[in-house]
Structures are given as C-alpha cells and as structure tokens.
Amino acid sequence: MIERVSPDIDGGRFPVKRVAAERVTVRANIFTEGHDRLSAVVKHRSHGSRRWHELPMQALPNDRFEASFVVGAPGMHEYTIEAWIDRFGSWRAGLAKKVEAAMEVSSELLEGAAIVEAAAQRAEAARSETDAGWLVAQARTLRGESDLADRAELALSTELARAVGRHPDRADASSLGRAVQIVIETQRARTGAWYEFFPRSTSKEPGVHGTFRDCEAWLEYIADMGFDVVYLPPIHPIGSSHRKGPNNATVSGPEDPGSPWAVGSEEGGHKSVNPALGSLADFDRLVARARELGLELALDIAFQCSPDHPYVRKHPEWFRHRPDGSIQYAENPPKKYQDIYPLDFECEHWRELWHELASVVEFWIDHGISIFRVDNPHTKPFAFWEWMIRQIREEHPEVVFLSEAFTRSSVMQYLAKSGFSQSYTYFTWRNTKHEIEEYFRELCRPPLADFMRPNLFVNTPDILPEYLQTGKRAAFQVRATLAATLAHSWGVYGPVFELCVADALPGSEEYRDSEKYEIRHWKLDDPWSLREYLARLNLIRRDNRAITEGEGPEFYDVDNREIVAFTRRSPDCEEAVLVVVNLDPHHAQSGWLSLPLAALGIDTERPFQVHDLLGGARYLWHGPRNFVSLDPESTPAHIFRLRRRVRTERDFDYFL
C-alpha cells in the first residue's frame, strides 16, 4: 500500500511547484500486511524523457518512507514511487533474531541460499557478471558443510546485503500508479524584492507627464535600494470615454490622464504603449537599461478594456451586452467603473478571445518581459488561466506570473494551483502578533507551500492600510521589516511608501490624490525618506540565504504580545537569522525572549554575542532567555544573524 504521498496537490490534479536547483523531498506511507520488510524507490525524470532516475527511500518510523532529489532547469519534471517486499531483508531480520536467541538455523540458511541464488540470476540477467558470480559463490557457502556460526555470520554480513540489494526481486512490486508532476520555474518565481511605480509620475517637472526616458533615472534610484524587480502598472493607451478624474471622480477635466487600467483608445490596445510615455522603441530601451542595472521589468496584465479599445469596435462579440444592447461596464457595488468594459470569457467566440489574450502576453515576451503581475485574476475563469499559463510556459518556461487576487482564500489557492507563480496575500491586514504567527504557520508550510508562494506587498495603489495611516514613520519600518523577512518575496508601491505617505480618503484605504487618477511629483531625495532603511533590508536579504532560500518562519515565545520573534534558516541549517519586531509603532516595548539554543547550534553553557544587522549594535546574551527592548523612535526591529564559524575543535564563535 502506498498512501499519503507528498508533495502532491489534489491527488495529482495540479503540479507541485519548485524552482531550478531546489530539493524535492518525497514522503509516503508504505506498508503491507504481516511483518515483512519493505523496500521502495522514488523514480524521477524530466518531462518527455524515457529514462527514470531511481533513489532508494529511507524507512522512517510509523511506515513513513522518504527520499529527496534536486531538480534541474525550468520546465516540467515528474516523479513516482515503487515499492516491494524485501524477501532477503525480511529473511535476514528473522535470522538475526534466531541467532541472537542461540537457536538452530540450518534450515533458515538453506532458505537464504535460495534467495541469494535468485538474486544471482537477476544479476546475470542485468549483465552484472561480477555480482552474479560472487552471489553464486555465497549461496554455495550458505548451503555448505562449514561451521554453522560462520555461515550465519556470512548471511548477516553487510557486504552480502548490499550485493543482494543491488538486484532486488521486484516482480510483484506495487507502484503509485501515476506520475506526480512538478513545474520547475526560475529563482525569480520564488525570490525577489519588488518596487512598483507609475511611469507618468517620473518627470522632473511638476505637472508634466513622465516618459520612459524619465523612468531610466528612477531605475538607478531603485537599483541603489537593492530591489530586483521593477513593476509598472499598465503602460497602454488610456480611454477617454467616461474617464475618471482625481480621487475617482466620475467627471474628468481635459488635462486629467485617466486610470491606466482603462486600457485602450484610438491609439491602440494591449499591444501598444501610451504615446505620452514614448514609443515602443523607448520601452525597449528601458528594458535594456533595467538589465544593465541588474533589474527585471514586470508589466501589469489587465484583461479588460475601456469603451474606446479597438476590441470594442472590431470584436463586440467578446463583451457582455445588456438587454438594451449596450455593453455592461464593470461594477463592484457600490463602486462603478464606467471607464472599463469586462471581457466575456465565456462568450460564443471564447476560443478566439482566449488565443488573442495569450498573444498579448507573447507580444510583451518578445519585447523582453518575463514577469507579469496579473490584475484581478479571480474575476476571470480558472480554466482560462490554467490553459493560458500552460500555453505560455510550453515555449517560455522562464515566465513568472503574480496573482493580484485579494479574495477568498479558496479562490486564491486555486489560482496558485492553476499555475500562478506567486500570490498577493492577506499579510496587508495581519497586524497583531497572533494574526502574524497563525497566518504564516499556515502559509509557509506544506501543503500550501507546495503550490502557493507569497509575495508580501506592504501597500498597493489600491490599499493604504489603516496601520500605515496611523502609525507614522515607525509603522512603515515595522511593515517593511516583516515583509522583507517573513517570506522569500516582498514588494512596495513607491515612492509613497519610502516617503511615508499616509493621507487616505476618510473612512477608506484609498490614497488621497491617488496616482491611479492623476500625475504626482515626488521628491526622491527627501531626507525623511526610508530609502536607506529599505536598502539595508534588501542588502540583509541578499547576504543571508536563510531569508531568500530557507523554509518558513519558526516563531518563539516573547512575554509581550507587542513583540514578535522568529527565525529563518537556510536549507542546510548552517545559517539563520533571528528577527525581533516591536509591533507597536507608538510606544517602546520590552520582554524576555526564549530561544531553543541547542536547536540553533549554540552552546548552552557559554555566553554568545548578538549582532544587529539593521543598527549595528552588539549585545552579549546568556542562556535561553534574554531581554529585548525596542523603541519605535529609534528602531522598532532587530535582525540578528546566526552563523557558526569553527576555528578549532574546542573554539566556537557565534555571530547573531
């Protein structure tokens, strides 16, 4: 019986997710009736390959078996499991008990000789002549007339067990009966620091529409802060019909630029750029400049149209019509989006629509884009995303899709299963110690971790959380520290974040004078900016594999509900970071932190030094309980690094 296989998503309905060079640990319950010993292997291969690679599975307590392997380049991989009764191992275990009890075992040795002879025949069939000849000789000895104790010692020898084990009897083997699919993506699908900004707000002159050329100067600013991915909201022409004014006003003025998410005008649609930003050649130059600075450019994919989009005129059949013949605009009561027409993914001509939308993604791939943030995917059919992402990845396995779906957890998880590389999360609204610990214990552990990768955005153009509205500068530091250390990927919408903009429309999470509806001018060199703090966080991330590659956070007890503490460990457990954060942005908080020193590799009998990578301070700690105090007026958090460096056999230095 082969049961409780992991990793495995919905019984093989969806592929497991990994990135290139990541380890896959396969576990399963494998058992049979009676007391026979079992052997099992994991078989894995690249999709399309005929040759399986086999790895023996190690027996764990309670019928659990385990084996691991490292996957290769982006693409599809698969594994399965095969198990069989280990006749020789079962016989050998029974013989050992009888020998220990000083029982007569001549009959048992004859039985063992037959098992060894059968292994010799399998070795010969496999053209392993050396093993075949040696095993025949051992079987002859077991049947011989030599001292019974000597023959029993031979039967129980490790050398004989290994030789027989190389040629097991798998005639009656059981298999999982299917191959578990694994989609392998690039490292960026798992890890990265994202920075979002509006290109139209990049001009050096207030009130002037920014261009792609203006964006080039911002790329240097973003690279200096250590971000990896630059994400741009839609860069397409913007419709004029029902164009929204400042603060989502239903009436706009002649100079109002409109919402970038109202995609399409007479100047083009999803395969065009807004002329106010520049030309397609200017965009290509921006992509090239980003690469020179070590940045990757991500684009917003918003599959919706303004009333002026060319699709409306050329393909009215792709939209839902009301009884009066007009096209239904988007609504999320009480909000109305008269400037946006949703596409009808289930219309009579859905095949043509789906292929056209896939061609939009392919168009931008041809212009150097391999990362896409997808707007509101939960309002489109699951089947469409599963089909489109699979289609794109067949030719472009390097492409990364980020799901912007702030909706019910079951829907968010299904989108992740359907192929999205990363997902927005509820982190934006998890502020208390209990909320953070409970949420990340679930989010960063299997089964969710096998298919849903969180990207922790601290804010978005749509969301200015209440915590940031009321917490002043320290609140921005707290949320940035948590986002940068709790998961592999995090993001900010700037420069409103580093400039600590907290002005919201009354009773909402909407920014006042939002860039969604107007051009803003930002002073990037403002001394109040958190740009140096963000740069420090990203540097700490790059220098510590525990954050960018390790498993999810392990939380520790602090006797103060306003202080949260957790570690992140590297995959090999050689490095760890300890993060301690004051969640109260208004008051200093202190408490006693309890650490499992032995589990962290720290000598429990010696004092150890802790070094704060954020502020540079050093402290000498003693034992598992130590005092921490954090004042939001100076710094609301510590990030300690734990690295064991061995000088001699008796001399250990611990650096936190």
Where are the chain's structural domains?
Answer: 2-86+173-184, 87-165, 186-235+273-302+351-543, 554-655
pLDDT digits (tens, 9 = 90+) for 139-183: 999 998 888 888 999 999 999 999 998 999 998 999 999 999 999
Lookup: tokens for 169: 């009897």
What type of residue is 232? L
Q: Give the residue-averaged pLDDT of 628-637.
A: 95
Cα 231 to its chain centre, rounded Å, is 18
Catalytic residues: 375, 404
Buried b (16+ CB within 10 A) or exposed e, 228-242: bbbbbbbbbbbbbeb
Percent of the chain that is helix, strand, coil (3-state, to 5): 30, 25, 40
Same fold flag, 2-86+173-184 and 554-655: yes
Which CATH number is 2-86+173-184's, of 3.30.930.10, 1.10.510.10, 3.30.70.260, 2.60.40.10? 2.60.40.10
What pLDDT, in 10s, does the model give residues 193-205?
Answer: 999 999 999 999 9
The predicted pLDDT at position 653 comes to 43
CATH 2.60.40.1180 fits 554-655, yes or no: yes
The pLDDT value given to residue 643: 60
Tell me which DSSP letter residue 329 carries.
Answer: P
Residues 6+ apart with CB under 8 A from 136: 117, 120
Q: Are the beta carbons of 274 and 235 closer than 8 angstroms?
A: yes
Residue type, 371: I
- E strand intervals along 100-249: 174-175, 180-185, 192-196, 229-232
Q: Is 316 exposed, middle or buried (0-12, 13-18, 19+ CB in 10 A)?
A: exposed
- CB count within 10 Å of CB 608 equals 21
Question: How far apart (Å, rounded) are the C-alpha atoms in residues 308 and 341?
Answer: 10
Confidence (pLDDT) at 644: 52
pLDDT at 548: 95
3-state secondary structure of 276: coil
- pTM comes to 0.92
Q: Describe the crossing of helices 87-100 and 106-125 by its angle, rounded to 10 degrees.
A: 150
Between strands 335-337 and 330-332, the pairing is antiparallel
CA–CA distance, 318 with 327 (Å, rounded to integer): 10
| pLDDT in the model for residue 543 | 93
Count CB-CB contacts under 10 A for residue 413: 17
Is the pLDDT confidence value at 515 over 90? Answer: yes
Q: What's the CATH class of domain 186-235+273-302+351-543?
A: alpha beta
**Lookup result for tokens 């909706």:** 407
Record the tokens describing residue 31, joined without a space. 């058992």
Per the omega criterion (within 30 degrees of 0), is the bond before 465 cis? no
Average pLDDT over residues 206-214: 96
CB-based burial, 431-453: b 16+ in 10 Å, e otherwise: bebeebbebbeebbeeebbbbbb
Neighbours of 269 (CB within 10 A): 21
Q: Alpha-carbon torsion 90, 92, 95, 96, what sign?
A: negative
SS3 state of residue 391: helix
| Among the four given CATH numbers 3.40.630.10, 1.10.10.10, 3.90.650.10, 1.20.58.80, the one describing domain 87-165 | 1.20.58.80
Digit-coded pLDDT (tens) for 522-567: 999 999 999 999 999 999 999 999 999 999 999 999 999 999 999 9
SS (H, E, C) 563-580: EEEEEEECCCCCEEEEEE
